[in-house]
């Protein structure tokens, strides 16, 4: 009976779960799409310790994006799309991010969600495809010194879903007037990422039933 309860607990939890420290750079299965206009010479890449070191682990153990995602003066829109997973309301994304010390070129990062999953982000610098839900923006107004210059933690929560949903999260390095000849965009990093499933209400119900059953079993053993 206890085994049946345990199986029910596992089945009722959300399937979204992921931990990534970027020891090997951009993970296999993550999709890079650079829609910058005009497009530059880079997209997302392994961290560069000559710019700054990682949040934890080896100095290169983070991922980065920079001004070279665009060419000349560019509207940068550089996407990094996580694999499609099953999400429920309450699932959480946590990660650390930063820019360079004393940066004079503002950066911006968006976290977006697609409720259908996949990798459709459109084909222009201004398009978002199916990733229409904006979960979080770091330095939305491109303020000078508005992006943290030391590793800082950011958290966001999935909400508004009708039920279990096959969806995908994405990072979008998005900077207007960026590129090597622009006034904006420098270099950002992302590290120590986790996607955490939060148990659904039915999980707590089954947990309560399981604890109750354990209590009954202990009482019977005591009487015996």
Q: What is the pLDDT of residues 48-82, one digit of tens each?
A: 999 999 999 999 999 999 999 999 999 999 999 99
Question: For 169-184, what is each residue's pLDDT tens digit?
Answer: 999 999 999 999 999 9
Residue partners of 177: CB distance under 8 A and separation at least 6 = 73, 75, 183, 184, 185
Question: For 32-50, what is each residue's pLDDT tens digit?
Answer: 999 999 999 999 999 999 9
State the pairing for strand pair 85-87/165-178. antiparallel
CB 3 within 8 A of CB 214: no
CB 210 within 8 A of CB 5: yes
SS3 content of the chain, % helix, strand, coil (to 5): 15, 35, 45
The share of the chain scoring above pLDDT 70, in percent, equals 82
| Helices 2-12 and 201-223, axial angle in degrees (round to 10) | 170
The whole-number average pLDDT for the span 204-218 is 49
């Amino acid at each position: 009976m206890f085994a049946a309860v345990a199986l029910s607990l596992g089945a009722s939890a959300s399937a979204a779960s992921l931990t990534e420290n970027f020891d090997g750079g951009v993970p296999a299965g993550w999709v890079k799409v650079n829609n910058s206009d005009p497009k530059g010479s880079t997209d997302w890449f392994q961290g560069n310790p000559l710019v700054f070191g990682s949040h934890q682990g080896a100095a290169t153990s983070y991922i980065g994006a920079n001004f070279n995602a665009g060419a000349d003066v560019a509207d940068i829109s550089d996407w990094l799309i996580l694999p499609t997973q099953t999400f429920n309301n309450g699932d959480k994304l946590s990660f650390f991010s930063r820019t360079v010390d004393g940066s004079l070129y503002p950066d911006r990062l968006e976290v977006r969600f697609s409720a259908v999953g996949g990798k459709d982000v459109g084909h222009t610098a201004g398009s978002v495809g199916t990733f229409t839900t904006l979960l979080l923006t770091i330095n939305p107004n491109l303020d000078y010194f508005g992006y943290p210059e030391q590793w800082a933690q950011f958290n966001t929560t999935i909400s508004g879903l009708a039920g279990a949903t096959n969806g995908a999260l994405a990072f979008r390095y998005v900077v207007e007037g960026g590129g090597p000849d622009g006034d904006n965009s420098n270099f950002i990093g992302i590290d120590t990422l986790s996607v955490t499933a939060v148990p659904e209400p039915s999980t707590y119900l089954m947990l309560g039933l399981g604890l109750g059953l354990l209590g009954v079993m202990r009482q019977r053993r005591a009487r015996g």
